[in-house]
Amino acid sequence: MTVVIQEQSIEADSPAPGRMLTVTLNGKRQRVHIEDRQLLVDVLRGNLGLTGTHVGCYNGDCGACTLRIDGRVAKSCLILAASVDGSDIVTIEGFGNGQLDPLQQALWESDAFQCGFCVPGHLFALDDLLNNNPEPTDKEIRDALIGNLCRCTGYMNLVAATHEAAARRRCSAPCDKYERDDSEV
Ligand code: FES
Ligand code: FES
């Protein structure tokens, strides 16, 4: 039996189609060259070095890649970077404008996380909840976290911390009751 192997021509590596992406990222205008096929989370982490946006699944299931685009929370593993040209993006590096937001502080004080992998996504989901609902119930908090998974801690402390953060945000400044005593740290 004769086996005929057909010759195939394989094109030399050619650069993937790309473009310049321009966004406002954490308050600053940013231009970066991307490949058309790149996901937003990969551009943030790989091209721009913003590794606070995490990847747990690339599937839209875990919520670790959650951030804010044009004022709305989104999962950046489900979004092509090319589709957000011109957008205003906030990652965890820009959360709270460089200071600990009451929500971050409440999570920290309530032992609401262990490894911290889920925290960036949780913060955006809970921030969105509190922006729209300043006094949520337990159920509303749990519902808001339905797309964000934590493998370490469970959710009881997260719920408690969210109530605490909601109270702090409602409290008109200065609110001495909620000021943290740094001498204990
Ligand atoms: S990495 Fe995006 S939802 Fe899991
Ligand atoms: S604290 Fe580890 S995954 Fe949530």
Atom of ligand 2 nearest to the CA of 122: 4
The pLDDT value given to residue 12: 53
Position 53 scores a pLDDT of 98
Planar angle of CA 162, 135, 171, nearest 5 degrees: 85
Which of ligand 2's atoms lies nearest the C-alpha of 153? 1
Asked if residue 48 is part of any domain, the answer here is yes
Is residue 53 a part of any domain in this protein?
yes
How many angstroms separate the Cα of 86 from the Cα of each of 22, 30, 152? Answer: 6, 10, 37
Residue 52 lies in domain: 18-95
- Looking at residue 91, its pLDDT comes to 98
75 plus 110 within the same structural domain: no
What does the pLDDT read at residue 33?
Answer: 97
Q: What is the CATH number of the domain that holds 127?
A: 1.10.150.120
Q: Determine the pLDDT at residue 184.
A: 41
Long-range contact pairs involving 16-24 (C-beta distance under 8 Å, separation at least 24): 19/82, 21/81, 21/82, 21/84, 21/85, 22/85, 22/86, 23/84, 23/85, 23/86, 23/87, 23/88, 23/89, 24/87, 24/88, 24/89
DSSP-derived secondary structure letter, 75:
E
Residues 28 and 42 in one domain: yes
Domain-located, residue 185: no
Whether 153 is in the pocket of ligand 2, judged by its Cβ within 6 Å, is yes
Query: Ligand 1: residues within 6 Å at CB?
Result: 55-65, 75, 77
Per-residue pLDDT tens, the chain, 185 aa: give them: 555 545 554 455 677 889 999 999 999 999 999 999 999 999 999 999 999 999 999 999 999 999 999 999 999 999 999 999 999 999 999 998 778 889 999 999 999 999 999 999 999 999 999 999 999 999 999 999 999 999 998 799 999 999 999 999 888 555 544 444 444 43
Mutate-to-test residue for ligand 2 from 54, 57, 148, 150, highest number of ligand atoms within 8 A of CB: 150
| Number of domains, the chain | 2
* 85/107 same-domain check: no
Cα–Cα distance measured from residue 49 to residue 72, given in angstroms and rounded to the nearest whole number: 22
Residues 111 and 91 in one domain: no
